[in-house]
Chains A and B, each alone.
Chain A
Amino acid sequence: MNTNIDFNNVLKKLIPFIGIVLFSMLLNTILFFFLPKSYFSKTMSENRTIDYKKYKIREGFEEKKIVKKKLKKHIVKKEYALISNILLNMIYQEENQNGWIVIAEKSSRKTTILGINELYKNYKLLKIFENHVIFEKNNREYKLLLNSEKQKTPYIVEKTGVSIEKIDDQYQLKRDLINEYTQNSSKIWKEISIKETVTNGSINGFKITRIPQKSVFKKLGLRQGDIIKSVNNVKLKSYADAFNIYKKISKVKNMKFVVLRGNQEVELEYEIK
């Protein structure tokens, strides 16, 4: 058996292939010099924000302090009285212990509204707390509980709607409400439908085409037919702008919507707590 290999012949046949490999390597090396060596996203590095800033023009370009109004707590009736013959029906309490209460006589059910330092049958209303109040009579303090003695039911914080309050022209809403909707986007589309409005081929806002009566968005002051033009001074010119706001809403504390209602621009302001 002849086992001799003709290396010269093999090399002769391999040379074109080696040449092709070297040539393709050369071509790709040249190409390599013209290609970017790394990538860094410019758009991702941009800190696009929808932070809310408000300025007072008259007093210079200084940032206006947003007056945070304390959330008032309405506490509804629970029947119990440490002071004989008096029922504490309601406590209206502000965080600085101001407020007023509604008390009733057990026998007649006649109700009386009392403010701080006001008198009721020589009992002076001294302090208001979340679930009780303190009266004073003859230099002695008396406690009147809102809850029943056996604490059968806890007191209820009365809310106007679902975690939304409107104080002056500003809506205050709870962060939980925002989270509830951002975590379940299908819930949003059940309560609102929007469609882009196009002028000269470009989007210039989003029109509310449907908003059910019980929708949370209705409680936030939006109406069917409103065209949302901007949010926190970011004009809505694309779906991306809208989605960008949707994505960042969980981080913002204040929002301002500019909507076109009829021929009038309306500003809706929200404080998220």
Chain B
Amino acid sequence: MIFTIAARELKALFLSPLAWSILAVVQFLLAYLFLAQIDTYMMFAPRLAGMEDAPGVTDIVVMPLLGNAAVILLLVAPLITMRVLSEERRNRTLSLLMSAPVSMTEIVLGKYLGILVFFMVMLGLLALMALSLLAGTDLDLGKVASGLLGLALLVGAFSAAGLYMSSLTEQPTIAAVSSFGLLPLLWIINWAGGSGAAAVSGLFSYLSLVGHYESLLKGLFNSTDVVYYLLFILTFLVLSIQSLDANRLPH
């Protein structure tokens, strides 16, 4: 049942010009960033050759690419997630799901899976771009894998938060605007609180989306970071289920 809903969601995404244009624009930006990083590497290559323990092509090209991709996805994710539930409410199609033998959890998970698969397509294209370097050089594949895992978890978190925002309103634009508010806030939340008590600053830096991604980008696979993202996703999925259910209940 979850897969039926996810498949329709994905199909609907690809039937709309929005998804295609987002894929195209993101791909273009990432390709340009990739090119710029390779250019930088070519500039430093002669000097790096003389250095001992020099950073390799993975560190100079792939990892910055993944880091920049995270920022681009932060901007793009709300555009994909905004319509997922709000449009169903607006077009009154939600009652189709509500009167079908499907639970709220299945609806939310199906929707979530649909957007996740879309983003995985996007990440797949990005991964291919990075792996194309294998044609001419060696890559630290473990590091690349850790970076891609981090990016996948990050996008999963963006999607879950966006889905929740979409469940709150009938207006896709409002869902997008609130996600645009929430995601960057969670991104930079560790910027403040540094002067306060250690507990507060610790909490803020734990909550920050970016901190955990940075350590994965360095190739440090720490289960704390993975658990952070999983908890983040779970929280927003549960909130979405609750908010969908609240539509039905008297209040």
A binds B: no
